[in-house]
Structure 1
Amino acid sequence: MSADLSQQAAVARPASVTTRRRPALLRRAAPALGLFAAARLTGLVLLALWSWHLGHSPLTIIGNSWDAKWYTSVAAHGYGARTFTYPNGDVQSDLAFFPLYPALIRAVATVLPVTGGGAGLLVSWAAAAAAACGIYAIGERLHGRRTATLLVLLWGLLPHAVVLSMAYTEPVLTALAAWSLYALLARNWLWAGSLAALAGLSRPNGYAVAAAVCVAALIEVVRGRATARVWAAGLLAPLGWVGFVLWVGARKGDVLGGYFTVQDKWGSRFDFGVGWLRLARDLLLRPAPVVLTVSLLIVAAAVLLYVLLILERPPLALLVYTGALLLVAVGGTGFFESKPRFLLPAFPLLIPLALAMTKARPRTAIVVITALAGLSFGYGAYLLTSAHMPL
């Protein structure tokens, strides 16, 4: 596939013709969405059974653990209500958490008789479904229905896919990213920029969507094809992320650096991959927790998949978006066990695998999917019930 977005648009059939000749997107995506729902529901059932066996509440585990507590606190009380102080005096602030997800939790909890955790789960589950549909739409546009279906299923069977069933922000970011990228491929510039701005309000690595839109818009400007909509998309896309970062900075008394100081107190900083090299060295020299070993392997696999993705020559927007997510995972330090979760929105990494499985014999594809399902369900249950490490 060409990296030129304009070429993608040039070969696309007119929307009216496409609408007449093909069933609606939801109908075409129904098998993929059904497989995705079945995968995640099976994972939830197995997690619930194992949790009850250990004497834990499944709803508490998926709706009120780790970061979910911070999001529901912001939703209920606003920023500044929750902090954590280390013995050395360092303070972890809730200003590290972006505002879109808490706002959605608050809206749902206001309308429905549910707790903050319950509202968070409803938002995440709805966002995961929207994300799966958006991923399918991109896969179908680029490679056809069968590859798109496998792409969605593979995304739902990642080792950390259990997060898609939790009160976490990854489903929201992935949904906004997928549809923003799809809008770019369809040259719906205003939709692409608007969704990118919302993505920037969802997570720290939401900037990756804005990066994709801005690069695509810049190419149009350089080639002399920029319209008012292209300029608007390029200006809209970074507003969410930049706006929140500056707001936090102003609240901390340092407009440009305040947000990054907050993240530094959480141990999150960019070290150009030095931390990963040290972790790899330590894993070779002495035993380490299973989660750290698996995290290192997953990120290494992601780097390899990115190389394979480049060889497939996808649209440039997908490469920029995925590369930006991978840059944070590889170049950032702190919370190494969470890096695979940070890569959940990087669904284009799975395109080479989906293409390979499309060409494989059905029996081979079934074996691979079954193995991935066993790993995803088992490892997901282990992460939430036995690992005792931040997710």
Structure 2
Amino acid sequence: MSITSSRPSLRAPGGLAAARLAALRNSFRAARPSLALYLAIRSLGLVVLVLWSASTGKSAHVLLSRRWDSLWYTRVAEHGYDFTLQAPDGRSLSGMAFFPLLPWLEEGLSAVSPLSLSDAGLVVSALASVAAAWGIHAVASHVHGPRAGLVLVGLWAALPVGIVQSMAYSESLFVALAAWSLYSVLTGRWITAGLLSLLAGLTRPIGLAVCAALIVAALLATADSLRTRRRLPDPVAAMAVGCAIAPLGAAGFVLWVGHRQGHLLGYLDVQVGWGNGFDGGIAFARFLSSFAHSGVVTAVVVVLLFLLAAWPHRIGLRQGQPVALVVYSAVVTLLALGASGYFGSKPRLLMPAFPLLLPLAVVLARSRPAYLWATLTTLTAAGAVYGAFWLNGSGPP
């Protein structure tokens, strides 16, 4: 007598798709408390923003959808990359500084709905922020358990600049793609990780961080397999494909801009027009030490900045954080602190580095519930007030 398993075979037509759909449903069920916490924290931030804006005679809707970079994304969606503005100081501000995935999504959603481009950007950002919270929960739960996932999502939502997650900016979209790409790396889904890395690279320049994390993880897995089993790991072909496609998004856009500009590094010229560049943190250190007007002080501040940035990575490694997460957050941190542009944007540029919050999330997850919820409540209230104050003031550049 033969025994037939009731479990669907992955070799059967639709078996793999059904298994993946079931895994996705289970992942969503596990993440529901984290998503509810995320929505509650961000909703409070939006309520405070609306009330604050009304008291100052401003529109929260305009602040979220039609100010600063969000204007440029809609300009790209509407006019393509031919749109430029002349700054008062003579610099040429080109839309080619902004990567294309968010404008493409804005244009597509606006074309099939009554939404304007700016409102389509808000919808994309809102959906992407929930996907980002889900991905962050999945990463943290995989490494340290579901309680750490819940806390990490809460910490990320309550960041002082967390209001950007609700704006028509590309941060939420990027973090959603980055988090799920990292989760795919941690679970051995190399081709999926590569595809998501490609899309992250079409969203923001720091797509390089996702690509680096994938490639380093693949190289270390290969080296470990060769050292312990003296043969290549079984998914080596999938690893190779994932690593090959991961940089294509960012590299393709940068090369296209270079072609439009007439030389290979034309994207750097576009960034110079915006006053952006990379100097390893020297300009940022000079800004922080400007009161002393001393080259020695600047050098000291540079060292302190990078020691401070290295500390959470060291703690993360001691807690058993996977190398892929450390590499990702390290590259994001390096690019954020090393950029020579507007210094007020540093916290916003660091926001995608959510693994930096994981050491704190682990500590809070292991603490008493009263201490955990008091901490999250305090951070949530402070973040909501600061976000409203910030957007009604200088706001993100």
* Residues 1:384 and 2:382 aligned together: no
Closer/same/farther in 2, CA of residues 242 and 31 from structure 1, 3 Å limit: same
For 1:44, the equivalent position in structure 2 comes to 46
Closer/same/farther in 2, CA of residues 246 and 55 from structure 1, 3 Å limit: same
For 1:53, the equivalent position in structure 2 comes to 55
TM-score normalised by the chain length of structure 1: 0.88
Mapping of residues 1-391 of structure 1, within 5 Å: 24-81=26-83, 83-222=84-223, 223=226, 224-225=232-233, 227-255=236-264, 257-282=265-290, 303-386=310-393, 388-391=394-397
SS at match of 2:93: strand
Q: Deviation of residue 351 (structure 1)?
A: 0.7
Distance 1:175 1:157 in 2: 17
Structure 2 runs not aligned, ≥5 long: 1-17, 227-231, 294-303
Distance 1:284 1:259 in 2: 34
Identical counterparts, % of pairs: 42
CA RMSD of aligned residues (A): 2.4
Q: Deviation of residue 220 (structure 1)?
A: 4.0
SS at match of 2:275: coil
SS at match of 2:280: coil
For 1:11, the equivalent position in structure 2 comes to none
Distance 2:19 2:267 in 1: 48
Q: Deviation of residue 21 (structure 1)?
A: 11
Conserved? CA contact 2:348–2:396, under 8 Å: no
Q: Deviations over 1:38-95 (max 9, x none)?
A: 00011001100110111111111101110000000111111112x2323442211110
Q: Deviations over 1:257-292 (max 9, x none)?
A: 10011111111111111112112212678xxxxxxx
Distance 1:20 1:284 in 2: 60
Conserved? CA contact 1:135–1:152, under 8 Å: yes
Closer/same/farther in 2, CA of residues 214 and 20 from structure 1, 3 Å limit: closer
Q: Deviations over 1:224-267 (max 9, x none)?
A: 32621111001000000000000000000012x10011111111
Distance 1:358 1:242 in 2: 39
Closer/same/farther in 2, CA of residues 390 and 140 from structure 1, 3 Å limit: closer
Conserved? CA contact 1:71–1:97, under 8 Å: yes
Conserved? CA contact 2:345–2:396, under 8 Å: yes
User: Any runs of at least 4 consecutive aligned residues in structure 1 with deviations exceeding 6 A, and if so which?
Assistant: 16-23, 297-301
Conserved? CA contact 2:135–2:176, under 8 Å: yes
Distance 2:138 2:364 in 1: 18
Structure 1 runs not aligned, ≥5 long: 1-15, 286-296
Distance 1:271 1:80 in 2: 29
Closer/same/farther in 2, CA of residues 230 and 309 from structure 1, 3 Å limit: same
Conserved? CA contact 1:299–1:329, under 8 Å: no
Aligned residue type for 1:264: V
Q: Deviation of residue 111 (structure 1)?
A: 1.0
Q: Deviation of residue 133 (structure 1)?
A: 0.4
SS at match of 2:198: helix
Q: Deviations over 1:166-208 (max 9, x none)?
A: 0000001100001001111110111000000000000011111
Distance 2:197 2:309 in 1: 23
Aligned residue type for 1:73: R
Aligned residue type for 1:28: A
SS at match of 1:92: strand
Distance 1:70 1:231 in 2: 36
Conserved? CA contact 1:176–1:195, under 8 Å: yes
Aligned residue type for 1:166: M
SS at match of 1:79: helix
Q: Deviations over 1:285-326 (max 9, x none)?
A: 8xxxxxxxxxxx999865542332232231111111111100
Q: Deviations over 1:92-121 (max 9, x none)?
A: 111000000000000110111011110000
For 2:300, the equivalent position in structure 1 comes to none
Aligned residue type for 1:76: E
Conserved? CA contact 1:220–1:230, under 8 Å: no
For 2:14, the equivalent position in structure 1 comes to none
Conserved? CA contact 2:208–2:250, under 8 Å: yes
Mean Cα deviation higher: 47-56 or 312-321: 312-321
Larger Rg belongs to = 2
Aligned residue type for 1:104: L
Distance 1:123 1:158 in 2: 20
Distance 2:218 2:313 in 1: 23
Conserved? CA contact 1:298–1:340, under 8 Å: no
